[in-house]
Amino acid sequence: MTIVTKGISMLILSVLILGLLIMIVLGFMLGFSHPLPWVLVAVLVAIPFVHDKIISNRFVKWSDSLSVGIDSIDNDHKKLLGMINQLQTAAHYHTDDDMIENILNELIDYTKYHFTREEGLMQECGYPDLEEHKKQHTSMIAQVTDFIDKYRTDGTRTADDVAQYLKAWLINHIDGTDQKYTPYLKGKVE
Ligand code: FEO
């Protein structure tokens, strides 16, 4: 979601709430026994719950189906997912730029740390697809660095874009690539 699209969404939401408030006031002029203003009050009260429900879909949850069977790597993945959720929260609530910068920097640093650790374990165990796996890591770092550069310089990417990209990439990568090394590493490394 671009900054402009997000701004439009927030504007529409604000106009909707304001419109409902005006209609509620006007509705009560029909009398407190009239059902219309009460229906509108119920709609107004429901908005935060619907909003939270929609937003919750943008966050990512750990599931045991994502386990690679190695505790240290699972813990790295859990930590990365937690950091992505932190970034998502900061982006959604328009947290100040310094905080988003800190989260982005920590996220990139920890991702690099995790990739290095994972590649070391694969090498230690003679994993045959190590080189292909490393290429995916390198490509992900390049892509996310490009997103972040665009976020920092021309604003054509948002922190939300970075969080969404990382979320999709990490889940697909764990599910489709990391889990392939499980039979080679499980029981041999911590
Ligand atoms: Fe867990 Fe290949 O990254």
Instruction: State the distance between the two ends of the chain, measured CA to CA, in whole angstroms.
Output: 40
Q: What tens digit of pLDDT does each residue of 88-122 get? A: 988 887 778 888 889 999 999 999 999 999 999 99
Helix (H) or strand (E) run with residue 182 in it: helix 182-185
Burial environment of residue 60 by CB neighbours within 10 A (0 to 12, 13 to 18, 19 or more): buried
In angstroms, the CA 131 to CA 123 distance is 10
Question: Which atom of ligand 1 is the closest one to the Cα of 137?
Answer: 2
Q: Nearest Cα to 162, choosing from 135, 141, 177?
A: 141
Compute the distance from residue 147 Cα to the ligand 1 centre, in Å. 20
Q: What tens digit of pLDDT does each residue of 130-162 get? A: 999 999 999 999 998 888 888 888 877 888 888
Compute the distance from residue 106 Cα to the ligand 1 centre, in Å. 17
Which residue has a Cα nearest atom 2 of ligand 1?
178
In angstroms, the CA 88 to CA 180 distance is 28
In angstroms, the CA 148 to CA 152 distance is 6
